Amino acid sequence: MRYVESPKNLAGSACGLAGLALTFTGVAGAYWPVVVAGLYGAGALIAPPERPAPPDFPDPSAQLEALRADFEALRGYLAEVELPPAASGRLTELTGLLAALLDPGWVAEVLAQDPEGVHTLARTVRQDVPEAVDTFVRTRWWSRLTPGQEPPERHLERQLDLLHEEAGRLASALRETEARRQETHTRYLEDRST
């Protein structure tokens, strides 16, 4: 059934019908079956190949919905982990910024237009924060067995600072995008009034 509706069959059928028209006008003569089949074959060969449908990837808003669900799972994990006060404060700042970026509304709409920003946010939520916290918990246990090493809290605090800076750069880029949009609209209105 798929071939019946294909462009090759439709083009071949149209050419085959032209062959039948030639037969009825007397041009094809006794060789009309060869002419009709040949024209059908020629039409099927010159028809464009069937193009496969592109994959149906989720749109950015659906990606953000999945990311919001993953962020809630991350928050549940972080609530169960015991962290030192300085790292806990930095983590609270970071999760607050991530929550603001993922909050449904106009920020999410702007973020959805920036695939690199969505990727950065997804990497932070799904990989970087859980890895930093889990590595700290594991290293803290080992540091109790071998005192005198650099405390794992310093590494965790530095990692959280770096992640906060990255999320801050993303928020700044989104703000700049909106500022450029506003400036562009102002110029448009100025140009329109002249």
Domain that holds residue 95: 60-193
pLDDT at 147: 67
pLDDT at 184: 92
pLDDT at 29: 81
Same domain, 22 and 65: no
Longest dimension (CA), the chain: 103
Same domain, 112 and 22: no
Q: Is residue 51 part of a domain?
A: no
Same domain, 42 and 83: no
pLDDT at 60: 73
pLDDT at 121: 93
Same domain, 94 and 144: yes
pLDDT < 50 regions, the chain: none
pLDDT at 37: 92
